[in-house]
């Protein structure tokens, strides 16, 4: 297979035609822009499965995604979208960089849902970026940003409901979007690698923060997320 791109957690290969690509989920976990790196056996398979269940659920509610089908347990066939180099972060509760940047305790309530953008660029360390900077650099047009924000908020509403059913609080998450056939579609993945997921009753962290912060039992909790989302999806 022809490798088109290798990222920190996925590899993209050319698909059977020009409209599709294969995406392979790796077991590699990284944090701090690659400064911390480790192989976590089964992570690729578990994240691929979790993401697929969530994308399926979102599709049922009218969200368009890149997912076509599984090729094997760690590889999917996806629509080959033109990825918009933005990380779109949605926050329901203060945590992570929001807490450190603005000096608010992790777990603090927010008066409204936050949608923020970072420019996806490893060399620059994915800097925060605002609407007028995005349009000035030609990364996306304002009408696209308006659509992206509406889409992000709709995905958030659907995910909060879904994870609640699974006994999980959705603290925040990151999505990536792409242009495909004149539409903006949801790409990349939604998994514990890119979302903060806390147990609804104990507030136990069940996501990648366990890896970032050396809390241990990373794959135990990822497996538990998979078990719960499978049950919530029944």
Residues that bind ligand 5GP (CB under 6 A): 87, 89, 95-98, 126, 172-174, 193-196, 208
Q: State the minimum distance, in angstroms, from the CB of residue 41 to ligand 5GP.
A: 19
Nearer of residues 140 and 195 to ligand 5GP, judged by Cβ = 195
Q: Which residue is nearest to ligand 5GP (CB)?
A: 96
Find all residues with CB under 8 Å of 118, minimum gap 6, and list them: 86, 87, 89, 126, 127, 128, 129
Nearer of residues 8 and 20 to ligand 5GP, judged by Cβ = 8
Nearer of residues 57 and 98 to ligand 5GP, judged by Cβ = 98
DSSP alpha helix (H) spans, the chain: 43-60, 96-102, 131-136, 142-165, 209-212, 218-232
Q: State the minimum distance, in angstroms, from the CB of residue 179 to ligand 5GP.
A: 21
Question: What's the rounded Cα separation, in Å, for the pair 193 and 14?
Answer: 24
Measure CA of the first residue to CA of the last residue in the chain; give whole Å: 35
CB 177 within 8 A of CB 186: yes
Q: State the minimum distance, in angstroms, from the CB of residue 234 to ligand 5GP.
A: 26
Q: State the minimum distance, in angstroms, from the CB of residue 189 to ligand 5GP.
A: 8
Nearer of residues 15 and 221 to ligand 5GP, judged by Cβ = 221
Question: What's the rounded Cα separation, in Å, for the pair 179 and 186?
Answer: 9
Question: What's the rounded Cα separation, in Å, for the pair 107 and 94?
Answer: 5
Find all residues with CB under 8 Å of 3, minimum gap 6, and list them: 11, 12, 13
Nearer of residues 14 and 115 to ligand 5GP, judged by Cβ = 115
Q: State the minimum distance, in angstroms, from the CB of residue 224 to ligand 5GP.
A: 17
């Amino acid at each position: 297979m022809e490798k088109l791109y290798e990222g920190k957690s996925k590899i993209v290969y050319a698909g059977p035609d020009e409209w599709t690509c294969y995406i392979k989920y790796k077991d590699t976990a990284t944090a701090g822009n690659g400064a911390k790196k480790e192989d976590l056996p089964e992570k690729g398979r578990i994240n691929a499965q979790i993401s697929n269940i969530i994308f399926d659920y979102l599709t049922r509610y009218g969200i368009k995604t890149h997912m076509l089908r599984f090729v094997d347990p760690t590889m999917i066939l996806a629509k080959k979208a033109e990825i918009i180099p933005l990380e779109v972060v949605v926050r329901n509760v203060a945590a992570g960089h929001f807490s450190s940047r603005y000096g608010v305790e992790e777990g603090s309530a927010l008066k409204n849902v936050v949608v923020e953008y970072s420019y996806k660029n490893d060399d620059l360390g994915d800097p925060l970026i605002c609407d007028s900077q995005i349009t000035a650099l030609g990364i996306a047009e304002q009408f696209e940003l308006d659509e992206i924000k509406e889409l992000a908020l709709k995905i958030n509403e659907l995910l909060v409901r879904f994870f609640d059913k699974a006994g999980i609080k959705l603290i925040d998450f990151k999505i990536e979007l792409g242009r495909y056939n004149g539409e903006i579609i949801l790409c990349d993945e939604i998994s514990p690698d890119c979302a903060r997921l806390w147990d609804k009753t104990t507030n136990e962290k069940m996501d990648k923060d366990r890896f970032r912060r050396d809390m241990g039992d990373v794959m135990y909790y990822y497996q538990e997320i998979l078990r719960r989302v499978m049950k919530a999806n029944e």
